[in-house]
Chain A
Amino acid sequence: MSSNVARRTCLVAAAALGTVLSAVLLAGCNAHPKPEVVFWAFGVEGEQVAKLVPEFERRNPGIRVRVQMIPWNAAHEKLLTAYASNSLPDLFQLGNTWIPEFHMLGALEDLYPMLHASGSLHDSDFFGGIWDTNVIDTALCGIPWYVDTKVLFYRKDLLAAAGFPRAPATWDEWFEVCRRIVRQRIAEYGVFFSVNNEWVPQVLMGIQKGSPLLKDQNMYGDFSGPEFRSAMRTFREFFVQGLAPVRTGQIVNIYQGIAQKSFAMFISGPWSISEFRKRMPPDLQDQWMTAPLPGPEGAPGLSLAGGSSLVMCSSSQRKEEAWKLVKYLAEPEVQIGFYGLSGDLPSRVGAWKSPVLARNQYAGAILEQLQHVVATPKIPEWEQIAQKVRALTELITMEKMTVDEATTELDRAVDLILEKRRWMARHAE
């Protein structure tokens, strides 16, 4: 008897639960008949961009936006698995070095038709070098969202003590200031390169010397070409002359290093500005500055076109709505708001006139640098190639290989990586 009662209670409860659940589901459907744009953004951007959405929804009452935040360190695998399972969102953020890969997969919508039809957005509104990272063959794969590049960070007091009231502009000046700093014991070293985990300075010096890095339509390495070799000979001098530390492992924290006069300069991106503010001791807070990179002939030398773009999934059903969101996020005022929220620098040149950015004394150098940025080779293998560049140039700095040996070996390794690419090109013919 009692077990019967219990069973009946269970049934009633289950039925009730079922009714409630279906009611909730139905209510869910009824509440949002509007088209919903799913938007994936990473890390801080994902956290902060959600705050800009209500204004967009207010202006476009017909559209709902669902922002999903993906952690940066899981972003690449998340996007690839989503592609493999055909579940990419309508709109997503893509680091601009990842664009070639997703373009090759056919995952990205060509935005040129929408750009031409819109009339309110023009390629000239953006930094040329950054815009270029989004153009592959004849397709526009994304619209720049925020920008990033590398500049020189330096200690004003140490350079002044070496007789340089401003940052070095040419490579010659760069060497001269390093030599004086070391010789006069102003700091232990002139400059710091994180050769054990970075490829950027080496590649940039090659680019500044005019190396194309890859040749024959990106089918073979061109690191043993004269331009890159000449750049590496110069790079090597920093270490051979004792102007930059060879054993970089002992420097655990670059901000501590520059504060304790281990070195006076290093190359980094805009995120270092907030790190400096956080980590430098108070008495050194007005003693550091940013400058465009020194170039072989004069500043600014070329730097990397970094940052993220907004890209649209080619199989999206909500392209029109997603494009409206892209246009909204590209508005200068919205970008200034986003800069305030996340610290990400605006991709629209017009937004840099805002007093909010003008107040940032470190931004001037970055703005100047952004007019002189280039993209790394636009092929999916670039990341792998860059790692090889790092490993082999590290051997140059340790004098375990000569420049000629290392660059020849580098080309051999790079040609192996690109073998598949050459096979595909033959295959396609």
Chain B
Amino acid sequence: MRNNAAARSAFLFLLPALSAIGVFFIIPVVGALILSFTDFDIYALANWSNARFVGAKNYTDLLADPLFWKALRNTLYFLLVGGPLSIAVSLATALLLQARLVRWKGVFRTALFAPVVTTLVAVAIVWRFVYHPRFGVLNYVLSLAGIGPVDWLGDPDWAMPAIILLAVWKNFGYNMIIFIAGLQNIPQELYEAAKIDGAGRWQQFTAITIPMLAPTTLFISIITMIGYLQLFAEPYVMTQGGPLNSTLSLVLMMYEQGFRWWNMGYSAALAFILFGLILIPSLVQARIGRSAGRV
């Protein structure tokens, strides 16, 4: 009896949150899933009765669409190059900021974190200048080293590296803060003991810092993977997917199909494929983490 009452009051307290989740999350997701099995398009926008159920056609069409594979390749390129780079940069800066010789740690930490909290659109304007083929700082620096001018955002081969550079610069500060927290959790005694045993700096790093940071690194790599697979704002603002679709990401393609051409069914199917793409590696990584934790 008392249990029931407790459950009821608990439910009442949860109700606002649950209804918010229901209205703003569950209903739209179910709606999108249904949409992905229809050919909801511009004709259906004019009149709802013009939408038909088409079964899995959107999914099979997507798998046969070369543009989808192009977008998938671009997204994986961004993930596999940008992801590790971003993690390496955040780890390196975190280690630098934890070094005992560094002064004004707070100032540096804030400065390095600043790109994370600035608006991407504002940042993009600055980076467009940096990347400018004739007047850009980057090409000026490269020219000092004798490297010819690169049309960063105009050349299909260089546009994605340019986007990666921007994204890494914009995002590494967030992971850096998490790494700093992880580093501060490593007990000093371990390093002291290692020093007594005669371990050098590099040995301390590989034998203590890296293993002790493993849970943090796992967490960061899952978060980064989920975030990087949803690449959208950077190419949307900088290149609109061009040149020659070389920076078209899955989410950008979804946006264009959905809101530019109003192929809502097609776009929803793409959303669920992306969902699967994110879910599977996340589960694998989580399982690796769990089994590693047991050992």
Contacts and interface: CB of A to CB of B under 8 A. Distances in A.
A80 B155 contact: no
A423 B51 CA distance: 11
A101 B42 contact: yes
B240 A73 contact: yes
A260 interface: no
Contacts of B43: 104, 380, 420, 424
Interface in A76-130: 76-77, 80-81, 83-84, 101, 104-106
A424 B44 CA distance: 10
| Of listed B43, B52, B156, residue having the most chain A CB within 10 A | B43
**Secondary structure of the A side of the interface?**
helix
A378 B85 CA distance: 49
B42 A104 contact: yes
Interface string A335-353: 0000000000000000000
Given A252-B154, A424-B50, A105 B42 contact: yes
Contacts of A104: 42-43, 46
Interface in A287-313: none
B260 A77 contact: yes
Contacts of A427: 50
A272 interface: no
Contact of B151 (A77, A101, A252): A252
A77 B50 contact: no
Given A73-B240, A252-B155, A424-B50, A84 B260 contact: no
Interface in A247-261: 249, 252
Contacts of B42: 80, 101, 104-105, 380
Interface in A161-214: 196-197
B244 A105 contact: no
Interface string B150-194: 010011100000000000000000000000000000000000000
Nearest to B263: A384
B130 to A, nearest CB: 20
Given A104-B43, A105-B46, A424-B50, A80 B259 contact: yes
Nearest to A101: B42
B234 interface: no
Nearest to A104: B46
A81 B45 contact: no
Contacts of A196: 244
A83 B260 contact: no
A75 to B, nearest CB: 10
Nearest to B260: A77
Contacts of A420: 39, 41, 43, 50
A196 B43 CA distance: 30
B46 A106 contact: yes
Contacts of A106: 46
B45 A84 contact: yes
Contacts of A77: 259-260
A195 B151 CA distance: 22
Nearest to A423: B52
B194 to A, nearest CB: 54
A105 B45 contact: yes
Interface string B124-162: 000000000000000000000000000100111000000
Contacts of B151: 252
A205 B121 CA distance: 42
A83 B259 CA distance: 12
A175 B136 CA distance: 42
B46 A80 contact: no
B262 interface: yes
A257 to B, nearest CB: 14
B31 to A, nearest CB: 15
Interface in A381-429: 384, 420, 423-424, 427
> Residue among B42, B52, B154, B244 with the most chain A CB within 10 A?
B42
Contacts of A423: 52
A196 B244 CA distance: 8
Given A105-B45, A196-B244, A197-B244, A81 B39 contact: no
Nearest to A384: B261
B257 to A, nearest CB: 11
A106 B156 CA distance: 40
B220 to A, nearest CB: 34
A427 B52 CA distance: 12
Interface string B1-45: 000000000000000000000000000000000000001011101
B188 to A, nearest CB: 44
Contact of A83 (B45, B50, B154, B240): B45
A380 B261 CA distance: 10
Nearest to B242: A197
Nearest to A73: B240
Interface string A17-50: 0000000000000000000000000000000000
Interface of B: 39, 41-43, 45-46, 50, 52, 151, 154-156, 240, 244, 259-262
Interface of A: 73, 76-77, 80-81, 83-84, 101, 104-106, 196-197, 249, 252, 380, 384, 420, 423-424, 427
25 contacts: A76-B260, A76-B261, A77-B260, A80-B42, A81-B259, A83-B45, A104-B42, A104-B46, A105-B42, A105-B46, A106-B46, A197-B244, A249-B156, A249-B244, A252-B151, A252-B155, A380-B42, A384-B261, A420-B39, A420-B41, A420-B43, A420-B50, A424-B43, A424-B50, A427-B50
For the complex of A and B, the 10 pairs showing the least CB-CB separation, nearest first, are A77-B259, A77-B260, A105-B46, A76-B260, A80-B262, A73-B240, A380-B42, A104-B46, A84-B45, A424-B43
Given A76-B260, A101-B42, 9 more contacts: A73-B240, A76-B261, A80-B45, A80-B259, A197-B244, A380-B42, A420-B39, A420-B41, A427-B50
